[in-house]
Each structure stands twice: as structure tokens, then as C-alpha cells.
């Protein structure tokens, strides 16, 4: 891929960074990224990835826009109420950057559908922007099985979490190493999320932006601060701390077979 004059102008502030350059911008333009969840995390993540020139974005969400979303889901406006999030998001991102390809999937992700999508075409990366623990474990299993890197984030109240796994490496740990799924979680009709416990909007903006940043770094070959490290953010104090993931040989997903 050779950058056009228009692309050189659009992405000039990125290209002048020695860590990116034209070669890095070409990698971004050739990348295909899947974003699952277009709420408070997916909105800023998608906006920044579209602006950065990710060549192809796939957006997955089966919800419609509600008035209560607007406090934190910055892709949507009041006149988008009752419209499908994935379709609205695709329109907004295409308007922001008409040079990229944006595909809307107006459905909820499940294991069979994700497996089919990731096996049919190569994806460079998946962003887990969901607020549900069960689907997060599903994304973790499918991405590991398909050897696709994943950047995950979550926010509850004022507290955010960020972690990345590069499943192209056979020795990579996974989300289940950190938070093993339990029978109790699987049986819950509704897992705690922002609709049941509340959340501060800018914290979602911070974590969604961090996901986009880590995605850009992964695609351009830069080191990720969240790779196999749980990054914890406290919005109330503006403090970050990191926890290195310990080896979990008993992980039900990536542990060695007995």
C-alpha cells in the first residue's frame, strides 16, 4: 500500500512521529479490526481508530440508542434515539473518515458467530468493548482459538481495567487466567454492568481511548504496556497501577491439557 497525497495530508501529524512514519501508517491502512460493543468504551475507541486510518473496521452491537446512553456513548446524538447502534456508528465513522471501510453487524456476538467471522477472514485485532462478563469470556476463548490478539477494557463506577493478550503466541496467558469463569457466573441471568451499578462517563472515555492507543501500537509493532498486564485506573484519584499476570497452569482455557 502506497499512501496517497490526501492520506499523507490527513495523517501528517501521525506520520511525522518517528514511531509511526509512513511505514506505520501503511500498516494501519492495511489493518482489519473488529470492535465488539459500541457503548461507552466502543464509542471513543472506534472514533480514534477511524481517525487514525485503520483500513477496515467491523462494528458489532445489537442494541439501539437510548436516551440514557448519551451521558457516556459519545458516538450518538439525541436524534439517534431508537436507531441501531452499529448502523449509526458506521455512518458517524464514515462521515469522519470516508477513506476507510466500515461494516456494521447489527447483532449481539455469540461464540458460533464470532468463530465463523474470525475464521472466514483475517483480523489483526479484536477490541472487547462489552460490559458483560460472559461475553468477555466468550471473546477470550474465540480469539485464543483463532489466534487473534485482543485488547479488553471495562469500567465500573470510577474504576477501569485494561489488559491485552497476543494469542499469536502459543505461550500467551488469557483472560480466564486472571478471572476464571465460574458456574455461578454462567448461571446469572444478568451480570453486573453499567446499567445496574452506574459509571462515570469520562472514565469510559479514558479506557476506550487507551484501547485505541494499544491497538495502534500493536498494529504498528510498538510495545504494549497492557500486554499480559492488568492496568488499573482510578478516575477518582487519577492514578494508574499495573499488575503482572501470574502464570496459571490450571487455567480452564489455556492451561496445559491433563
Using only C-alpha atoms, the chain has a radius of gyration, in whole angstroms, of: 18
pLDDT over 50 at 182, yes or no: yes
- Given the residues 174, 194, 251, 254, select the one marked as catalytic: 194
Distances, alpha carbon 209 to alpha carbons 52, 68, 169, 178, in Å:
12, 21, 25, 23
Higher pLDDT, 100 or 193: 100
In 10 A of CB 154, how many CB atoms? 22
Residue with cell 434515539: 81
Task: Indicate whether 258 pLDDT > 60.
Answer: no
Q: How high is the pLDDT of residue 194?
A: 61
Q: What is the pLDDT of residues 158-177, one digit of tens each?
A: 999 999 999 999 999 999 99
The pLDDT score that the predictor gives to residue 43 is 98
The whole-model pTM stands at 0.94
What does the DSSP 8-state code read for residue 129?
Answer: -
Please name which of 140, 158, 163 lies closest in space to residue 205, comparing C-alpha atoms: 158
Q: Average of pLDDT values for 177-181?
A: 91
Ordered domains of the chain (ranges, CATH)? 21-244 (3.40.50.720)
Summarised one tens digit per residue, pLDDT across range 195-244 is 677 999 999 999 999 999 999 999 999 999 999 999 999 999 999 999 99
C-alpha cell at 87: 448502523
**What's CA 23's distance to the chain center, in Å?**
23
pLDDT per residue as tens digits for the range 39-82: 999 999 999 999 999 999 999 999 999 999 999 999 999 999 99
Least confident of 91-95, 119-123, 246-250: 246-250
Q: How confident is residue 248, by pLDDT bands cut at 50, 70 and 90?
A: confident
Output the average pLDDT for the chain.
Answer: 93
Q: Does pLDDT of 129 surpass 90?
A: yes
**C-alpha cell, 112:** 458460533
Average pLDDT for 91-102 = 98
So what's the pLDDT on residue 184? 43
Percent of all residues in the chain with a pLDDT value above 70, rounded to a whole number: 94
Q: Identify whether 194 is a catalytic site residue.
A: yes
What are the C-alpha distances in Å from 92 to residues 50, 75, 103, 130?
Answer: 10, 7, 12, 20
From 27, 4, 41, select the one nearest 212 (Cα to Cα): 41
Amino acid at each position: 500500500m502506497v499512501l496517497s497525497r490526501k492520506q499523507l495530508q490527513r495523517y501528517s501529524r501521525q506520520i511525522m512521529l518517528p514511531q509511526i512514519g509512513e511505514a506505520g501508517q501503511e500498516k494501519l491502512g492495511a489493518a482489519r479490526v473488529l470492535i465488539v460493543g459500541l457503548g461507552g468504551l466502543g464509542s471513543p475507541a472506534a472514533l480514534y481508530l477511524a481517525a487514525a486510518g485503520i483500513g477496515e473496521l467491523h462494528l458489532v452491537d445489537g442494541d439501539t440508542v437510548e436516551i440514557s446512553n448519551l451521558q457516556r456513548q459519545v458516538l450518538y446524538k439525541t436524534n439517534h434515539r431508537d436507531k441501531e447502534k452499529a448502523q449509526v456508528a458506521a455512518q458517524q465513522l464514515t462521515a469522519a473518515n470516508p477513506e476507510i471501510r466500515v461494516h456494521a453487524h447489527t447483532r449481539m456476538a455469540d461464540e458460533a458467530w464470532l468463530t465463523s467471522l474470525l475464521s472466514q477472514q483475517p483480523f489483526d485485532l479484536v477490541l472487547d468493548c462489552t460490559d458483560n462478563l460472559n461475553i468477555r469470556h466468550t471473546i477470550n476463548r474465540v480469539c485464543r482459538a483463532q489466534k487473534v490478539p485482543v485488547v479488553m477494557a471495562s469500567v465500573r463506577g470510577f474504576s477501569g481495567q485494561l489488559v491485552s493478550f497476543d494469542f499469536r503466541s502459543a505461550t500467551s496467558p488469557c483472560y480466564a487466567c486472571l478471572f476464571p469463569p465460574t458456574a455461578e457466573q454462567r448461571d446469572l441471568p444478568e451480570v453486573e454492568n453499567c446499567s445496574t451499578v452506574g459509571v462515570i462517563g469520562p472514565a469510559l472515555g479514558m479506557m476506550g481511548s487507551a484501547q485505541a492507543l494499544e491497538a495502534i501500537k500493536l498494529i504498528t509493532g510498538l510495545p504494549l504496556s497492557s500486554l499480559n498486564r492488568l492496568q488499573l485506573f482510578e478516575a477518582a484519584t487519577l492514578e494508574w497501577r499495573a499488575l503482572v499476570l501470574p502464570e496459571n497452569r490450571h487455567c480452564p482455557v489455556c492451561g496445559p491439557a491433563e
